[in-house]
């Protein structure tokens, strides 16, 4: 429910929020599937209720990148040392995003928007396949470009929706979704419905500056969540 509220508020963040708790209580295979499924349910609801700022030309390079990164992520999922990858990425976010949060003036990236969108989309696609963290890289890139909040929300929200649909379809095709997981999926989906609507309601009241602070705060939380996901597995080795 907390993760669904975060997703409704920002357009991303379900997996990173839920994983901070699930990593300590659930089997990794179940937590990954739940993260992608819960993100997908919340994204479908949020996309139906917040539609402002849509720009297909801005979104296109992110989706092109995802088309490259998502298959790579699905292929890497059973092969990659995921905890080590998550620990490294989480450490980077925990260090960089608080510095941006407290900086008087954020660095603004004025060039290479298309290339940056393609690269962040590729990373987002791969991370979506590796546990539903698809929105982290595109959200950081949009923030560094200083996009208006509605434009940023639309890019991240629609990017997430496309990646998560493809990722969950890939999980089904690869047999990662087991019949024993169905009660957990039903519970996670039901718990998502109302909180995501509350989050979208709060989003509409945020100023541009407040939204940037929310995004950077959530990206910091993403780093914490990635570390929380990885550390139990690394400690157990």
Q: What is the pLDDT of residues 131-165, one digit of tens each?
A: 777 888 898 888 888 788 888 888 988 898 899 99
DSSP 83-130: HHHHHHHHHHHHHHHHHHHH-SS-----S-HHHHHHHHHHHHHHHHHT
Q: For the chain, which residues make up each domain, given as ranges?
A: 2-235
**Global model pTM greater than 0.95:** no
Q: What is the pLDDT of residues 164-204, one digit of tens each?
A: 999 899 889 989 899 999 999 999 999 999 999 999 899 88
């Amino acid at each position: 429910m907390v993760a669904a509220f975060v997703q409704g508020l920002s357009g991303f963040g379900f997996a990173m929020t839920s994983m901070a708790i699930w990593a300590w209580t659930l089997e990794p295979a179940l937590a990954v599937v739940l993260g992608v499924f819960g993100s997908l349910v919340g994204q479908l609801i949020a996309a139906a209720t917040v539609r402002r700022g849509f720009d297909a030309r801005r979104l296109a390079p992110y989706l092109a990148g995802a088309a490259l990164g998502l298959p790579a992520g699905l292929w890497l999922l059973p092969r990659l040392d995921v905890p080590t990858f998550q620990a490294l990425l989480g450490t980077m976010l925990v260090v960089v995003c608080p510095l941006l949060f407290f900086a008087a003036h954020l660095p603004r990236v004025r060039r290479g928007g298309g290339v940056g969108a393609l690269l962040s989309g590729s990373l987002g696609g791969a991370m979506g396949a590796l546990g539903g963290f698809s929105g982290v890289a595109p959200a950081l890139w949009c923030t560094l470009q200083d996009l208006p909040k509605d434009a940023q929300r639309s890019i991240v929200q629609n990017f997430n929706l496309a990646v998560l649909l493809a990722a969950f379809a890939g999980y089904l095709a690869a047999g990662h979704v087991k019949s024993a997981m169905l009660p957990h999926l039903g519970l996670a989906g039901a718990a998502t419905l109302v909180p995501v609507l509350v989050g979208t309601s709060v989003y509409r009241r945020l100023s541009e500056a407040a939204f940037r602070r929310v995004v950077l705060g959530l990206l910091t939380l993403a780093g914490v969540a990635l570390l929380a996901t990885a550390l139990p597995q690394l400690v157990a080795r």
